[in-house]
Amino acid sequence: MKIVVDANVPAAEACFETLGEVVRLPGREIDAAALRDADALVVRSITRVDRTMIEAARRAGSRLGFVGSCTIGTDHIDREALSEHGIAFASAPGCNAEAVVDYVLASLLTLAEREGWQLASRRVGIVGVGNVGGRLLGRLTAMGIDCLACDPPRVELQGVGRPATAGFVDLDTLVDACDVICLHTPLVRRGPHATYHLLDAQRISALAPDTVLLNAGRGDCVDGAALRQRLAGQADLTAVLDVWETEPAIDTALADLAAIATPHVAGYSLDGKLRGTHQVYHALCRHLGLSTRLTLEDLLPPPAVSRLALNAGLAPEEALRLCLRSVYDVRRDHDSLRRESRRQGMAQGFDACRAGYPLRREAATLVVELGAEAGHLAPLLRGAGLHVVD
C-alpha cells in the first residue's frame, strides 16, 4: 500500500508506516501524477483535491481509495467527485480549534497592549459558532467578556437537537453593535448561507471607526480589495488577518496595512497538527478494517514550558498576556511573514513561514501556579483556558 502525505503533516511515519509505504511531497506539488500508484492521500489545506485531479489520476490508472485532510475545513476537497469515484474521505473537525482560539486571544491582548485599551472593555462579535467560534465564545464568556454571536444555519437548526442559540443576532446587527468582529466561518460559495465576501464592500464601509476586524476563518469571506481601500483611505480600522484571498500570493499592500498579518498559521500548534494526523490515521484504519495502535498521547512530547508561578503585582490582563506569551507569541508570526516576504517575495515567503514553522504548544499545556496574593487572577486565567492551581 502506498500513502502519499503532505510534507508538513507531522508524525506521518509514526502513524502510517505500519499501514504501508509513506511518500512525502510538498503540498503544492501533489498532483494527479503523484497519485498514479497511490492507495491513499493525506493532505492539508494547501492541496486542492478537485475533480480535475481525481479524474486525471483515474485516467492514469490510479487505485486511490482514501483521501484524508488533517484540517477542520474541507473547501479544498471536491467531496462530490470523491464520492462519484468511490473514494472514501475523512477530515479532522475540531483538531486545531483550541490553537485558533489561542491565536485570537493572543492577537487581541497584543492589540490592547499596543493601543492602550482593555479587552474587558470591548464587546466581541463572533461570526460562525462552530468548532472554533463556539470555543471562542465559551472562553470569552468565561473571562467575563461581553459577546454577541451570529450563525444563521445554527439558528435555523435550533430545536432539532442542536445547542440553544438564544441571544444570537443577524450579521448587520452584530457589525453595528460590536467593537471587535471575529470571523470563523467556513467558505460557502453558493446557497442561502453563502459566506464568500460575507464582509463585502458595503459592510466594510459600514464598520464603525476603531473597530477591530479579525479573520481566522477563510480569506475569501472578506473582500480584500475593499478592506485594503478602507485601511489605506481612512486608516480608522485595525485588521488582524491570518487568512487571505489568493494564498500564497496574497495582497502585499493589504498585509502591510494589517496590524497583525500572519501566514495562515492560527491553528498551527503542534497539538492541533498531531490531533489532525491522529484523526485521519484513525479514519484510514477504519477504512482498512484495522485496529488502531497509537494514541494521541504517544505522539505528543512534553511542553518546553510546562509551569509558571505568578505572585502579586500583575493586573489581570497583564498576567494573562504573560502566560499566553510563554506558550505562544503572535508577534513572532507577524514578524516572520514580514521578514520572509521581503527576502523571498510574498508567495515564497508565505509558504516558507508555514513549512519552517517553529514548535508551538497550546495554552492548556501550561500549568499556572498562583501565590497566596494572586488568587484574584484565577477566574480570568481559567476562563482563558489555562490550567490554574493555587
Residue 179 contacts residue 155 (beta carbons within 8 Å):
no
What confidence score (pLDDT) does residue 154 get?
82
Q: Using CA atoms, how far apart are residues 71 and 6, in angstroms rounded to an integer? A: 12
Task: For residues 326 and 367, state if they share a domain.
Answer: yes
What does the radius of gyration of the chain's CA atoms come to, in whole angstroms? 21
Q: Please say if 343 is a catalytic residue.
A: no
Residue 17 lies in a domain: yes
Angstrom distance (rounded) from CA 371 to CA 374: 5
Binding-site residues from annotation for substrate: 45, 71, 268
Catalytic residue from among 44, 122, 218, 230:
218
Identify whether residues 222 and 86 lie together within a single domain.
Answer: no
In a domain, 285, yes or no: no
Residues 100 and 128 in one domain: yes
For residue 76, the domain's CATH number is: 3.40.50.720
> Residue 388: enclosing H or E segment and its boundaries?
strand 387-389
Catalytic residue among 154, 264, 334, 361: 264
This prediction has a pTM of 0.90
> Which of 98, 247, 317, 340 is the catalytic position?
247
pLDDT computed for residue 165 by the predictor: 57
| Same-domain check for residues 44 and 102 | no
Residues tagged in the binding site annotation for NAD(+): 151, 185, 242, 267
- On whether both 213 and 332 belong to a single domain, the answer is no
Are 109 and 175 in the same domain? yes
Point out the annotated binding site: 45, 71, 151, 185, 242, 267-268
Q: Which residue has the cell 485601511?
A: 231
Cβ-proximal residues to 136 (8 Å cutoff; 6+ apart), any chain:
100, 101, 104, 126, 182, 184
Q: Of 91, 110, 143, which marks where a domain is finished?
A: 91
| Cα distance from N-terminal residue to C-terminal residue, the chain | 52
Q: Does 80 lie in the same domain as 165?
A: no
- Asked if residue 300 belongs to a domain, the reply is no
Residue 19 makes CB contacts below 8 A (sequence gap 6+) with: 1, 3, 40, 284, 285, 288, 290
Which segments within 231-353 are labelled E, that is strand? 238-241, 260-261, 307-310
pLDDT tens track of the chain, all 390 residues?
999 999 999 999 999 999 999 999 999 999 999 999 999 999 999 999 999 999 999 999 999 999 999 998 898 999 999 999 999 999 999 999 999 999 999 999 999 999 999 999 999 999 999 999 999 999 999 999 999 999 998 877 665 444 555 569 999 999 999 999 999 999 999 999 999 999 999 999 999 999 999 999 999 999 999 999 999 999 999 999 999 999 999 999 999 999 999 999 999 999 999 999 999 999 999 999 999 999 999 999 999 999 999 999 999 999 999 999 999 999 999 999 999 999 999 999 999 999 999 999 999 999 999 999 999 999 999 999 999 998
- Residue among 159, 179, 353 at smallest CA distance from 250: 353
Structural domain containing residue 251: 96-261
Q: How far apart are CA 260 and CA 255, in angstroms?
A: 8
Which residue, 356, 370, 354, 357, is CA-closest to 322? 370
Residues 147 and 75 reside in one and the same domain: no
Q: Where does a domain end: 46, 64, 91?
A: 91
Work out how many domains the chain is built from and give that number: 3
Active site (annotated) includes residue 317? no
Q: Kindly state whether residues 241 and 335 are assigned to the same domain.
A: no
78 and 125, same domain (yes or no): no
The residue out of 91, 123, 144 marking a domain boundary is 91
Asked if residue 353 lies in contact with residue 373, where contact means CB atoms within 8 angstroms, the answer is no
In a domain, 76, yes or no: yes
CA distances, 276 to each of 8, 80, 279, 364 (Å): 12, 22, 5, 17
Residue 186 covered by a domain? yes
98 counts as catalytic: no
Same domain, 38 and 61: yes
Considering the domain boundaries, does residue 188 fall inside one?
yes
Residues 81 and 124 in one domain: no
* 269 within some domain: no
In the chain, the amino acid numbered 258 is: A
CATH number assigned to the domain comprising residue 314: 3.30.1370.170
Of 359, 339, 358, the C-alpha closest to 349 is: 339
